[in-house]
Amino acid sequence: MASFVDEVTLTLESGHGGAGAVSFRREKYVPKGGPDGGDGGDGGNVIVRRRENVKTLSHLAGKSSLSAQRGRSGSGRNRHGADGRDLVLDLPPGSVVYDADTAESLADLAEQSSYVLLHGGRGGKGNTHFATSTHQTPRFAQEGLPGRRLRARIEIRLVADVGLVGLPNAGKSSLLSAVSNARPRVGSYPFTTTVPNLGVYRKDRLDVVIADIPGIIEGAAEGHGLGLRFLKHISRTAGLLYLIDLSNPDPVSDVHTLEREISAYGGGLESKPRLLVGNKLDIADPERVAAFRDAFPTDTVLTISVATHQGLRSLGDTLLEAVHGTGNERDT
């Protein structure tokens, strides 16, 4: 099974243009034919292209550089050199390409289906172009122009409507499996999820795409655990779903832990709309559940049990309302 690779840095180079040819007609009965040197071909471009069936950057991992093909040189009889083949990189939806040296964003494949990162060098002109009435036998042609080089950083940012965050073992993977078509690894121990997962909650003709990332632990902003590294995958979402384990001793404190770590990460995540969802209602102390509901009077707070499916329909309708502006009542 290919590993999940969500970021790579490599050098990309477009193709050099082919050289124009220096050539003269040499035909029977034409002892002093004019110039007939063909132009060189253009170098290949470097293109990034969105592909729905590509999920990671593992096919680029370990590569230090990739190049498009050079243009071929021109030849006699005004024959044009062949253009170089483009270098086409197939990337997952939501991939972003940066200039690794300046951090400038160059292409965003959530918004574009393809983008020419680097144009190939133009082919040189053959000596045919340089003949004049006073200089009928030019013995020179143009060299092709060089290609362009870029040190690129490519990273994936999953395209989802809702980002699912929580402490390890809050039941995120179980929830994603219960409400969507995703089949993430599920287990009753921390850090079951080690890579992001996408699932789709579907009701009638409307979808809500949910992104599940590895659990966030206290101190994630200082590099502890896995979750902080993957927070970039929920940067595009319209809102966040905080999933809280109601069987923990202090679920209110767990919310504050998530708030601190997400705020420390920044990037606008802390200001996104949020939905607070308490899980494991079937085994939680009723007084603790009531205290959880009362602690966040300005938030939408739901309580569910993924194990018994209690509250999942209400949760689904709430997500549809948040993303599409509709819940139980649907357009037909």
Ordered by start, the domain boundaries in the chain are: 1-157, 162-324
Comparison of pLDDT for 142 and 232, the residue scoring more: 142
pLDDT value of position 56? 87
Residues with Cβ < 8 Å from 161, sequence gap 6 or more? 208, 209, 210, 237, 238, 239, 319, 323
pLDDT at 184 over 50: no
The answer to whether the CB of 57 falls within 8 A of the CB of 156 is: yes
Q: How many residues does the chain have?
A: 332
What is the rounded distance in angstroms from the CA atom of residue 67 to the CA atom of residue 212?
A: 35
Question: Which of 172, 295, 194 minimizes the C-alpha distance to 241?
Answer: 172
What is the rounded distance in angstroms from the CA atom of residue 86 to the CA atom of residue 72?
A: 13
Strands 162-166, 206-212: pairing is parallel
- DSSP-derived secondary structure letter, 73: P
- Reported as a pLDDT band with limits 50, 70 and 90, residue 235 is confident
Cα separations (Å) of 230 from 53, 155, 233, 275? 21, 11, 6, 20
What is the rounded distance in angstroms from the CA atom of residue 225 to the CA atom of residue 101?
A: 28
pLDDT value of position 146? 98
Please state, rounded to an integer, the average pLDDT across all residues of the chain: 88
Least confident window among 70-74, 186-190, 208-212, 304-308: 186-190
- Reported as a pLDDT band with limits 50, 70 and 90, residue 23 is very high
- Residue-wise pLDDT for 88-145, tens only, equals 999 999 999 999 999 999 999 998 999 999 999 999 999 999 999 889 899 999 999 9
Topology (CATH level 3) of domain 1-157: Spo0b-associated Gtp-binding Protein; Chain: A, (2.70.210)
- Reported as a pLDDT band with limits 50, 70 and 90, residue 215 is low
Residues with Cβ < 8 Å from 129, sequence gap 6 or more? 20, 39
Residues with Cβ < 8 Å from 251, sequence gap 6 or more? 244, 245, 278, 288, 292
pLDDT value of position 28? 73
Predicted TM-score (pTM) of this structure: 0.77
Q: What is the mean pLDDT of residues 2-13?
A: 85
- In this structure, how many other beta carbons lie within 10 angstroms of the beta carbon of residue 310? 14
Residues with Cβ < 8 Å from 290, sequence gap 6 or more? none
Q: What is the DSSP string of 240-297?
A: EEEEEETTSS-HHHHHHHHHHHHHHH-TTGGGS-EEEEEE-GGGS-HHHHHHHHHT-T
pLDDT value of position 220? 45
Q: What is the DSSP string of 1-18?
A: ------EEEEEEEPPPPP
What is the rounded distance in angstroms from the CA atom of residue 127 to the CA atom of residue 40?
A: 11
At 323 the three-state DSSP class reads helix
- Residue-wise pLDDT for 275-298, tens only, equals 999 999 999 999 999 999 999 999
Domain 162-324 in this protein, CATH class = alpha beta
- Strand segments, DSSP code E, in 22-179 are 46-50, 65-67, 87-91, 95-99, 105-108, 114-118, 149-156, 162-166
pLDDT value of position 12? 98
Chain centre to alpha carbon of residue 22: 47
- DSSP-derived secondary structure letter, 186: -
Beta bridge partners of 274: 240
pLDDT at 221 over 60: no
pLDDT at 189 over 80: no
Q: H or E element: which one contains 210?
A: strand 206-212
pLDDT value of position 38? 97
